[in-house]
């Protein structure tokens, strides 16, 4: 923000007028606030012309007239000090060394002049800013309590104070760091810890709570949110550091606390150098690129500088959406899109042959557990035959790397969806020695906000006023955010050498009933009063809890602490080609009983119709 030329001149005139006031004021102070002797006054007035000339030049040189008083701060004060010092130095040389009459100017004048000028220039600026920051307005609409007395909290208070609308006025801070208690930031006291928020809210008539800790861990955020919920007041938060760094938002973009803040996990440290080395300059092929995981994988890949990217999906609208997004956000990426169903071998094979990818990320899969129980043929066609087609084409075309996106539901599966994903894992382990393709499998649990998952369902149910439907009060699931899952997939690809199954560290499992309660509370409603939770019983194919590995499998550490290598205690099928061909034939002839029989042979652990 630059002042207008008229305002610049007014600022410069103000500063110039302060020079004679300071010069003569220094004489007055030198003679104990009494009349200045004539023998000193006249030479002092003569020297004033030189002082104004040199000091005015320094004002202009250091750009004091360009500063905006509304935002006067320490840098402005430093510029004022520099201009005064740089003027005082030549004045001292001229007055005390070069001019014969120098003895008439007392040596104490220059130091006192400099101090007075600093006060006369800096004082009005700071007073003007203070008057704007703390201007008298009508009674503010909302009193704000800020949680977090760090850099983010300080910046937030500064912006709230400067706000012209006066709708929000900060009244104090809460912080669990007791060493900060009693201190003040911009005149606001750090009152207490988050644990005592209820008393602080009542004593200060708080209307809104803002959480200003963008670097807070999810455990800390959970603690803070639970404390805020007990106050029954609305609360919002600042964005995460990772979102600010990526450029998605700025630190001033306040938002409502989301379920991701509570159930997501702390940002992971990745070896981006090795990840980038494996993607940059390569041709990358993503199946199911319009889905939740596939589309985020495409975004992450685009940031790593691929030579070109081919996305296939059989959902027209999803493919259109991700195409529009990538062409807008990553115009430098060479992008190709194909409307292809992976169960169509000819289409998949032709696309891979034409595109000649270095890497295939196979994310295409049907995932809705209860729905697939009634559509066993379609589940097998997409999840098994689609994977077989993609693997076969990768081998035939000498694709270097094939990464399968698997799921915890593949472990001791009780659903068609889980069984089909287990067969996909078996295929990737059975084919590592064929051709030059390295097969890597990445297995993880639920991702927050993925299409068809429980979080979007609960949001819609809350919008309708409830109730929220939970299948069982003891049902638990593992959760991670979509970006974290995709980043760890890329990290696993960088670690893998071929034939491995990697399991992502999912942290602790979460009760679905807890998730439902938190989503109701975050929406500003009361559980059981405004929105109810009802339990409907387990649906076909569902388990109370998921597992990330078999009891016969051993987890070994890898170079990344969030990724474990699965070492199987059992030998996978040496040759499953005949079984897969029979499965494909059964799909073509619609023999669902035969399909179920072959699945049971391929996955002995599979037990259908488990309801508890």
Hey, which residues are catalytic here?
409
311 Rama sector, left if φ>0, alpha if ψ -120 to 50, beta otherwise? beta
Q: What is the dihedral of CA 142, 148, 151, 157, to 10 degrees?
A: 10
Neighbours of 433 (CB within 10 A): 9
Task: For 314-342, give one letter per residue: b (16+ CB within 10 A) or e.
Answer: bbeebbeebbeebeeebeebebebbebbb
Q: How far apart are CA 378 and CA 375, in angstroms?
A: 5
HSE-CB of 239 using CA atoms within 13 angstroms: 14
CA distance 301 to 494: 13
- For residue 167, the SS3 value is coil
Q: Which of 489, 443, 444, 479 is nearest to 458 (CA)?
A: 479
**Distance in angstroms (rounded) separating the CA atoms of residues 31 and 15:** 25
Q: Specify the residue for token string 């005149």.
A: 187
Contact 368, 413 (CB under 8 A): no
Residues 6+ apart with CB under 8 A from 339: 312, 313, 314, 316, 319
Copy the structure tokens of residue 609. Answer: 């119709």
d(CA 124, CA 320): 59
């Amino acid at each position: 923000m630059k002042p207008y030329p008229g305002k610049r001149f007014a600022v410069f005139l103000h500063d110039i007028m302060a020079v004679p006031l300071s010069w003569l004021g220094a004489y007055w102070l030198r003679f104990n606030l009494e009349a200045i002797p004539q023998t000193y006054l006249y030479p002092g007035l003569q020297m004033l012309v030189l002082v104004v000339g040199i000091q005015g030049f320094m004002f202009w040189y250091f750009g004091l007239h360009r500063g905006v008083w509304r935002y006067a701060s320490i840098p402005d004060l430093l510029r004022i000090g520099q201009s005064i010092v740089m003027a005082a130095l030549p004045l001292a040389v001229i007055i005390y060394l070069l001019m014969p009459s120098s003895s008439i100017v007392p040596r104490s004048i220059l130091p006192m002049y400099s101090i007075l000028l600093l006060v006369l220039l800096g004082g009005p600026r700071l007073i003007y800013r203070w008057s704007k920051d703390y201007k008298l307005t009508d009674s503010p609409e909302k009193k704000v309590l800020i949680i977090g007395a760090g850099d983010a909290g300080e910046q937030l208070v500064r912006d709230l104070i400067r706000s012209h609308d006066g709708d929000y006025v900060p009244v104090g801070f809460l912080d669990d760091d007791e060493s900060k208690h009693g201190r003040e930031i911009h005149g606001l006291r750090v009152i207490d810890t988050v644990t005592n928020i209820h008393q602080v809210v009542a004593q200060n008539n708080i209307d809104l709570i803002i959480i200003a800790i963008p670097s807070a861990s999810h455990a800390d955020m959970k603690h803070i949110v639970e404390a805020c919920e007990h106050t029954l007041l609305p609360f919002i938060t600042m964005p995460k550091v990772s979102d600010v760094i990526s450029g998605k938002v700025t630190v001033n973009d306040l938002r409502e606390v989301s379920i991701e803040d509570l159930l997501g996990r702390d940002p992971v440290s990745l070896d981006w150098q090795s990840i980038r080395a494996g993607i940059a300059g390569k041709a990358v092929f993503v199946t199911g690129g319009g889905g939740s995981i596939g589309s985020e994988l495409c975004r992450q890949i685009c940031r790593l500088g691929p030579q070109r990217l081919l996305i296939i999906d059989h959902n027209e609208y999803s493919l259109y959406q991700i195409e529009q997004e990538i062409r807008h956000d990553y115009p430098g990426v060479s992008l190709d899109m194909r409307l292809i169903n992976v169960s169509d071998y000819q289409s998949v094979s032709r696309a891979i042959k034409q595109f000649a990818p270095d890497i295939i990320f196979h994310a295409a899969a049907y995932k809705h557990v209860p729905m697939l129980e009634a559509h066993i043929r379609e589940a097998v066609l997409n999840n098994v035959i689609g994977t077989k087609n993609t693997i076969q084409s990768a081998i035939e075309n000498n694709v270097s790397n094939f990464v399968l996106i698997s799921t915890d539901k593949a472990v001791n599966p009780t659903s068609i969806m889980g069984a089909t994903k287990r067969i996909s894992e078996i295929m990737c382990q059975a084919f590592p020695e064929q051709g030059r393709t390295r097969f890597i499998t990445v297995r993880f649990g639920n991702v927050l906000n993925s299409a068809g998952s429980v979080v979007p369902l609960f949001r819609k149910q809350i919008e309708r006023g409830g109730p929220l439907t939970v299948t069982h009060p003891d049902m638990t699931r593992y959760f991670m955010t979509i970006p974290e899952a995709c980043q760890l997939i890329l990290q696993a690809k960088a670690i893998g050498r071929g034939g491995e199954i990697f399991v992502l560290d999912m942290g602790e499992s979460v009760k679905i009933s807890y998730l439902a309660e938190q989503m109701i509370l975050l929406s500003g409603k009361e559980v059981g009063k405004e929105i109810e939770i009802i339990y409907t019983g387990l649906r076909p194919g569902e388990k109370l809890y998921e597992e990330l590995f078999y009891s016969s499998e051993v987890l070994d550490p890898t170079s990344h602490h969030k990724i474990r290598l699965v070492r199987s205690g059992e030998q996978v099928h040496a040759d499953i080609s005949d079984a897969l061909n029979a499965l494909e034939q059964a799909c073509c002839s619609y023999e669902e009983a035969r399909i179920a029989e072959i699945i049971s042979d391929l996955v002995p652990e599979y037990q259908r119709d488990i309801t508890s």
